Structure 1
């Protein structure tokens, strides 16, 4: 085996590139260190120096080094996504407005119960929405509210942060990114749950490739998609917007919801 001079970040960088390309998922500094024999294992600072060199080498390439909650990964740059996405026949993910609103509420108001989500949105939360968010591992139950019925409290997961390219909840865009929207009560249909389930089944499942880069999805993109949808539903999202403006000194994510 070729001896590796881990003290030289320029020599370490291409090795880290090879590891991250092969992994196809985020790797933490600890996990990267475990891949080296004990006698040559780099210190955390040496790994960071090597990653910094790697990040710099990606500036003129089609992929970039991204740090997310679970660690570091190589992914396709966002501006190239429209072309790269054509490699697969599956349709791109499409989400219902109700699902996007529910996810945004959980992200900004966590921990939050289903009843509290319904109070803000003004309509019932479809059980399929919660199921879908749980199955995608974007939300999880973090406890139970100490009120009659002890309803479950939901919060976002590390997988949510990874998917939307966030290192922590501190990187969520300002709540003001949600423009005020005009809504009216959402009708409840007998086949609503079935219809929504069919809609959510259009989410694309991208096949895993051994050395493919991860396509970037940002939470700003999700909010922009929500804002661009038809505004035929009435909720109280504008209340969130006004509260954010009125409490300029308060972070939009409650400290109790950070994890």
Structure 2
């Protein structure tokens, strides 16, 4: 059983941080004989039915407002940047096919990916290099980050919607190249990514979970 003061310390660290705290950072703050997994499980159970809940985002943790209260707390305001359809397609490809190279993204989409698209995702903290592919030229491969999971309220990439759901929401074209994305019943082990940059000739479109609508910041 975890010491009560240790439990309080972890609770305070999570509450005080504006960003999700990695499990390794939390573990470094407690005695060696304490189990950080047990402490986090205890806190999760304690806050399970409250207005604030403890959620994992990859290998990090943060307090968030309960999802069922989102409708009561939502405040909508227009942001300066909007997701283009090309950006959302690129996002989905990285998400479900990671680690994936830029050339592979272009092959699936059937059009070139602007350099600014990748730059924007890097600045957002949603993608990171995932090594180099062992092919001629050794191109970089890209994958998602814990920051991406946190932004979209996902604990793991297994919670990503399937292709049918994305198409139903109007977030994907029904072009042949994008048919390689998984459906809601397959490829659960693939991972995620997102894109904020408009490409030449592409019209920006609204997306329910995109940067067009920003909800009230969740409590930390």
1:123 aligns with 2:88: no
Task: Look up the SS of the partner of 1:74 in the other structure.
Answer: strand
Q: Find the counterpart in structure 2 of residue 61 from structure 1.
A: 50
Task: Look up the SS of the partner of 1:236 in the other structure.
Answer: helix
Q: Find the counterpart in structure 2 of residue 43 from structure 1.
A: 33
Q: Aligned to 1:19, which of 13, 19, 29? A: 13
Deviation sequence 1:118-139 (CA, Å, 0-9, x none): 1111222232221111111212
CA 43–90 in structure 1, closer or farther in 2 if over 3 Å, else same:
farther
Aligned residues: 191
Q: Find the counterpart in structure 2 of residue 71 from structure 1.
A: 60
Deviation sequence 1:99-126 (CA, Å, 0-9, x none): 1221221122122221211111122223
1:104 aligns with 2:92: yes
Deviation sequence 1:47-95 (CA, Å, 0-9, x none): 4333333222223321111122232211112232344342x85549742
Q: Distance in 2 between matches of 1:49 and 1:144?
A: 37
In terms of Rg, which structure is larger?
Answer: 1
Deviation at 1:178, TM superposition (A): 0.9
1:113 aligns with 2:101: yes
Determine if contact 1:122/1:235 at 8 Å carries over to the other structure: no
Larger deviation: 91-100 or 53-62? 91-100
TM-score w.r.t. the length of structure 1 is 0.58
Determine if contact 1:114/1:153 at 8 Å carries over to the other structure: yes
CA 118–53 in structure 1, closer or farther in 2 if over 3 Å, else same:
same
CA 61–42 in structure 1, closer or farther in 2 if over 3 Å, else same:
farther
Q: Distance in 2 between matches of 1:178 and 1:73?
A: 29
Q: Distance in 1 between matches of 2:82 and 2:26?
A: 34
Q: Find the counterpart in structure 1 of residue 139 from structure 2.
A: 151
Task: Look up the SS of the partner of 2:61 in the other structure.
Answer: strand
Q: Which runs of 5+ in 2 are unaligned?
A: 192-220
| Higher fraction of helix | 1
1:32 aligns with 2:26: yes
Deviation sequence 1:136-161 (CA, Å, 0-9, x none): 12122334445455433222233333
Task: Look up the SS of the partner of 2:20 in the other structure.
Answer: coil
Two-structure CA RMSD over aligned residues (Å): 3.5
Q: Distance in 2 between matches of 1:130 and 1:253?
A: 19
